[in-house]
Structure 1
Amino acid sequence: MFKRPLNIAVPTAPLKIIALSSCQELGEMVDAHLVKSRKQQISQEHTDLSILGYDSDTYLVSHNVPRFGSGEAKGEIRESIRGKDLFILIDTVNTSNTYKMNGSDTNTSPDDNFQDLKRIIQACSGQAHRINVIMPFLYESRQHRRSKLESLDCAYALQELVSMGVKNIITFDAHDPRVQNAIPIQGFDNFFTSYQFIQALFEAEPEIVVNDKNTMIISPDEGGMSRSLYYASVLGINMGMFYKRRDYSRIVDGRNPIVAHEYLGNDVEGKDVFIVDDMISSGESMLDVALELKKRKAHRVFIAVTYGLFTNGFEKFDQYYKDGIIDRIFTTNLSHVPEELSKKPYYKNVDLSKYIALIIDTLNNDTSVNEILDPIERIQDLLKIHNEKVLK
């Protein structure tokens, strides 16, 4: 059960959740946390909010997105959502689902997932009291700014959702949170996963000592500086950074290829290093950084990313683990975790379902999310307890 203040706030409207097929497993876990927590809250407070559906046996809404043989689709909601505070969960980068198109199995793409979200919003027909979208990986968030004649897909997608009646958009560790400037007067919350990552690190590596002498935070590029600075600051340790030298004379796979990774920062020799970033896509850049750190005689290399996409598979990661270049990889379940990855000896999953349940509960009650957004005190308490245990 997640912790909430003793006095239960009255919900802004009865809660309902739609977990799209791309996010079904995570949605069921979130629902289970909410059901358990709310029933316990009512029991402890001796309060009856059953009339508002507060202690429902499930908050999940039955729905479907059937497809025609041509690949076209429609959204269906199979129960009433009139007057409900509706939260829609979507994993835009889950491409594991398939559908039939012209007789062939076709994997869903981020475009398919986003269109399914819009179909379900249309199916609401304006009946919900409020529509909130929880989109951990912002659709097209890697295309967040324009450098020449290019589309601005993420900004346009946010504006599109707002025009359809979405009141709040909740995301995690956005690639560039400034994209919210596209919808400046709409609700947009960008939550971070730093507390959960540090907790998972201590669980997976109970003997690790986190201090200046033994540990460092590493940013794999200049774009991740603010994220790494936050980790280094709350943990009280030093930070190093790599920057990418690119060949701007040519484009490979839609981007300028990296020529080399240059390092700026303190000596990493003999230290455990913790590389933090928002995502692993192909992983080439992250593995290059790990190799450079090993060349500089780092002790152990841990990688923590919010979204593990692994678009080029796991073969190279397996080899780097076998060769002792990487020691562990942490990713969250905010994006789909393939079963193959979950069985890897170097992999540790960071479960965010309870965190999402707390966010939904807080927003449904229209109470402040400031404490959830800024977990500095909880991180420092966790660090103190861990180091005292290890250094005994």
Structure 2
Amino acid sequence: MPTVVEPKLIAGNSNLPLANSIARRMSLYRGMSVGLVDARVERFNDAEIFVEVFENVRGEDMFILQSTSNPANDNLMELLIMADALRRSSAARITAVIPYFGYARQDRRTKARTPITSKLVANMIHEAGIERVLTMDLHAAQIQGFFDIPVDNLYASPIFALDVKKQFAGRESELMVVSPDVGGVARARELAKRIEAPLSIVDKRREKPGEVAEMTVIGDVKDKVCLIVDDMCDTAGTLCKAAEVLLGHGATEVHAYISHGVMSGPAVERVTNSYLKTLVFTDSIQPTEAVANTHNIRILPMAPIFAQAILNIWNGTSVSSLFETDTIGPIYEGIL
């Protein structure tokens, strides 16, 4: 088998701008051109997915770049079929780079006779021949245990912390990090530690999925600039309601830092008309034109951290080093 010389990237259709940005950042880090493997990922007339790889990948270290965002089923099938094509083409190792891992909300049985779809997807990924997964801000940390292969879960909080320190320079004493529910406290606490800010919680009660019946603020947010931290924003109902409740309890401004901008249904309209001063997403999911043009939404690039993580995996060096501010700071110097 030939010696593996360089990592090779191949991308599905879910987020081509991010895939191209990762390739450009890797070219910068390597000091040589790193491009996407020439391939076609298309659909037959009946919507079946077809993949053809035009380059030799025998013995290569392959990285598939594909978020399983909307349309989740199509993008997941693209990932699995690409993995099968690479495995049958004798790739030495296949790593799935999944910036946004879909089906992560179905990580346990909340009612009788319901599936644990996250585990099912993990099994499918393993059986397709994928040997490692690189993702970011899983909805539930225990999903890593659903896989029988290594999973590297990156975090957006170091990048959020850099952005907060720049955007709110000189106002650090006014900041208050807010978790929009009890389940997200650990995520919010992580950012609060990084920016040395206090923590508050908005306790919510749902009548049914997508609808919030009641919200209670735990903590004193009076005269504070509140930063809501969460892993995803789907219909934006909880987020916009939380902003309204926080202002009602005396907060001066409300901003939000969200890892994954799912933004389905009425989300854009809600955010546009909400009390949120700014809503910050990563580009783990390719923003729609409506999202990109919304006046109070900003997008942070994830290509630098994913490019470095891919190189670390390829080199066999630490990925967890990217959780540290001293490491991530130079990577994002001049970008944020």
Q: TM-score, normalization: structure 2? A: 0.91
Match of residue 48 from structure 1: none
- The alpha-carbon deviation at position 12 of structure 1 amounts to 5.8
- The alpha-carbon deviation at position 76 of structure 1 amounts to 1.1
Match of residue 334 from structure 2: none
Measure the CA separation in 2 of the matches of 1:380 and 1:86: 28
Q: Does structure 1 retain, via aligned residues, the 8 Å contact 2:9–2:36? A: yes
Match of residue 141 from structure 2: 177
Measure the CA separation in 1 of the matches of 2:63 and 2:298: 28
Measure the CA separation in 1 of the matches of 2:224 and 2:145: 40
DSSP 3-state at the match of 1:362 = helix
> In the alignment, which of 33, 40, 45 is matched to residue 69 of structure 1?
45
Match of residue 273 from structure 2: 319
C-alpha distance after superposition, 1:179-237 (max 9, x if no partner)? 12222x4110111011211222344x3545223xx111000001111001111223222
Measure the CA separation in 2 of the matches of 1:69 and 1:340: 29
C-alpha distance after superposition, 1:290-329 (max 9, x if no partner)? 0000001101111110111221242222122xxxx21111
C-alpha distance after superposition, 1:148-203 (max 9, x if no partner)? 211111111112211222111011010002012222x4110111011211222344
Q: Does structure 1 retain, via aligned residues, the 8 Å contact 2:161–2:194? A: no
Measure the CA separation in 2 of the matches of 1:37 and 1:227: 30
Measure the CA separation in 1 of the matches of 2:259 and 2:210: 24
1:208–1:340: structure 2 CA closer, same or farther, 3 Å change rule?
Answer: farther
> In the alignment, which of 194, 197, 200 is matched to residue 237 of structure 1?
197
- The alpha-carbon deviation at position 330 of structure 1 amounts to 0.3
DSSP 3-state at the match of 1:21 = coil
Measure the CA separation in 2 of the matches of 1:298 and 1:340: 28
> In the alignment, which of 61, 73, 79 is matched to residue 85 of structure 1?
61
Q: Does structure 2 retain, via aligned residues, the 8 Å contact 1:155–1:180? A: no
- The answer to whether residue 18 in structure 2 is matched with residue 26 in structure 1 is yes
Match of residue 333 from structure 2: none
- The answer to whether residue 286 in structure 2 is matched with residue 336 in structure 1 is yes
C-alpha distance after superposition, 1:97-123 (max 9, x if no partner)? xxxxxxxxxxxx200110111111111
DSSP 3-state at the match of 2:107 = coil
> In the alignment, which of 298, 303, 314 is matched to residue 353 of structure 1?
303
Q: Does structure 1 retain, via aligned residues, the 8 Å contact 2:159–2:328? A: no
Match of residue 6 from structure 2: 14
Measure the CA separation in 1 of the matches of 2:298 and 2:184: 22
Letter in 2 for 1:28: N
Letter in 2 for 1:300: E
1:285–1:90: structure 2 CA closer, same or farther, 3 Å change rule?
Answer: same
Measure the CA separation in 2 of the matches of 1:146 and 1:68: 36
Q: Does structure 1 retain, via aligned residues, the 8 Å contact 2:158–2:191? A: no
DSSP 3-state at the match of 2:106 = coil
Please list every run of 5 or more consecutive structure 2 residues that lacks an aligned counterpart in the other structure. Answer: 331-336
Measure the CA separation in 2 of the matches of 1:61 and 1:264: 50
DSSP 3-state at the match of 1:175 = coil
Q: TM-score, normalization: structure 1? A: 0.79
Please list every run of 5 or more consecutive structure 1 residues that lacks an aligned counterpart in the other structure. Answer: 1-10, 40-54, 96-108, 382-392
Match of residue 98 from structure 1: none
Match of residue 293 from structure 1: 246
Identity %: 24
Match of residue 152 from structure 1: 116
Q: Matches of residues 35-50 of structure 1 in structure 2 within 5 Å?
A: 35-39=27-31
More deviation, 255-264/280-289: 255-264
- The alpha-carbon deviation at position 376 of structure 1 amounts to 4.7
Match of residue 93 from structure 2: 130
- The answer to whether residue 228 in structure 2 is matched with residue 258 in structure 1 is no
DSSP 3-state at the match of 2:48 = coil
- The answer to whether residue 83 in structure 2 is matched with residue 121 in structure 1 is yes
DSSP 3-state at the match of 1:86 = strand
C-alpha distance after superposition, 1:318-372 (max 9, x if no partner)? 122xxxx211110001111122322332121111111111001111111122211
Q: Does structure 2 retain, via aligned residues, the 8 Å contact 1:280–1:310? A: yes
The alignment of Structure 1 onto Structure 2 pairs a total of residues equal to 325
Letter in 1 for 2:242: V
Measure the CA separation in 2 of the matches of 1:297 and 1:355: 36
- The alpha-carbon deviation at position 240 of structure 1 amounts to 0.6
DSSP 3-state at the match of 1:357 = helix
> Which one has the largest radius of gyration?
1
- Cα-Cα RMSD: 2.0
DSSP 3-state at the match of 2:14 = helix
Q: Does structure 2 retain, via aligned residues, the 8 Å contact 1:218–1:276? A: yes
> In the alignment, which of 253, 258, 269 is matched to residue 305 of structure 1?
258
1:240–1:380: structure 2 CA closer, same or farther, 3 Å change rule?
Answer: farther
